[in-house]
Structure 1
Amino acid sequence: MPLLEDGRLRPDDWTSIEDEAPLPEGPAIVSLARLRAEADALAGRNAPLGVALSPETQPEEVAPFLDRLALVAVCLPKSKDGRAFTQIRALREHHGFTGEIRATGHVLPDQYAMLLRCGVTTVEVPESTDPATWTRSRDTIRIAYQAAQSADRPLSLLRRKLELA
């Protein structure tokens, strides 16, 4: 599947690896269970390493490994499941992760702006995706009331009053 990054499609250079499968030479995404079990061996790996988190995973569980990870993939199993948003925000704000955070699973264009505000870098999208749909959705509502990982500033009560006047 292609990835959506900054409103543009790009190819995915990463390979998701099953727990029993051998690791490829290039960038690989493993499960948290495999990362824990093979932590020492994976620490000496020369290629980039990523981990896939299930929705049940607490960000604290992956925190000890973040310094050796280039990517964390979070899964949205359905559109009404917000646990991935919490994981993303915690990885950025509480654990200081600066690598790529990828949203996978059932991600809707309507969620794109909020994913970016939480700290997502890339979104896994279907082959037939039109990036314009995603950027339109991202740009439709530009008002936010909370602080975010993105550069936009929240709209304070005073600013809201002045803009409405």
Structure 2
Amino acid sequence: MLLLDRHGPKEDVWERAEYLCQAETKQVLAPLASIVGSDAITDDLKLGALLEPNRTVEEVAPFFDRLDMIVIHFPNAANGRGFSTARQLRQAGYKGTLRAFGPLIADQFPQALACGFDEVEIIGAAATRQPVEHWMEALNRISFLYQRDYGADDSIPDQRVARAANG
């Protein structure tokens, strides 16, 4: 497993549990289904939800104020639904940490950050095949994006509009 943000590798401090009542720490990642209606949620618990690609923003939105992290599962590198889900979560007002999880490839790292992800957890052979250097180099290969970066207005369409306005 390799966990990265835009600054490089980082340690994963979250415990994964199938059910909240099984957690042994106060920072727990659990499937959204086990969070809904759980009586194990306490004020001192930092809570993260694991979302499968078939989950919708509407299902998780009622928990925004309670979730410190949302982890969106990518079943494979070719399944891009997680990018759309991340963007929709940010547009719906989610302010916590967003993590992409799965066998992503380094070339997808800039796009993941542009869609609103804060970090990417790479698993299995993808983590072995592409070391940290590949992921960090990928950030410098793409300097402009068509999609607006979360929190910035420097996309190619924005630049074109600005140039047209300045004559």
Q: Indicate the TM-score class for this superposition, using the shorter chain for normalisation.
A: 0.7 to 0.9
The alignment-based identity, stated in percent, is 30
Offset, 1:41: 3.5
Using the size of structure 1 for normalisation, the TM-score is: 0.86
Alpha-carbon distance in structure 2 between the residues aligned to 1:63 and 1:120: 17
Aligned to 2:87: 89
State whether residues 17 and 30 of structure 2, in contact with CA within 8 Å, keep that contact through their aligned partners in structure 1.
yes
Segments of structure 2 that go 5 or more residues without pairing to the other structure are none
Offset, 1:20: 7.5
Aligned to 2:44: 46
Aligned to 1:144: 145
Using the size of structure 2 for normalisation, the TM-score is: 0.85
Aligned residues, how many? 159
Distance 1:20 1:55, change over 3 A: same
Alpha-carbon distance in structure 2 between the residues aligned to 1:124 and 1:158: 34
Mapping of residues 85-164 of structure 1, within 5 Å = 85-94=83-92, 96-126=93-123, 128=128, 130-151=131-152, 153-156=154-157, 158=160
Once the two structures are superposed, residues 80-123 of structure 1 have per-residue CA deviations (whole angstroms, 9 ceiling, x without a partner) of 111101110011012x1111101101111010000000010111
Alpha-carbon distance in structure 2 between the residues aligned to 1:159 and 1:117: 19
Segments of structure 1 that go 5 or more residues without pairing to the other structure are none
State whether residues 3 and 125 of structure 1, in contact with CA within 8 Å, keep that contact through their aligned partners in structure 2.
yes
Alpha-carbon distance in structure 2 between the residues aligned to 1:158 and 1:8: 32
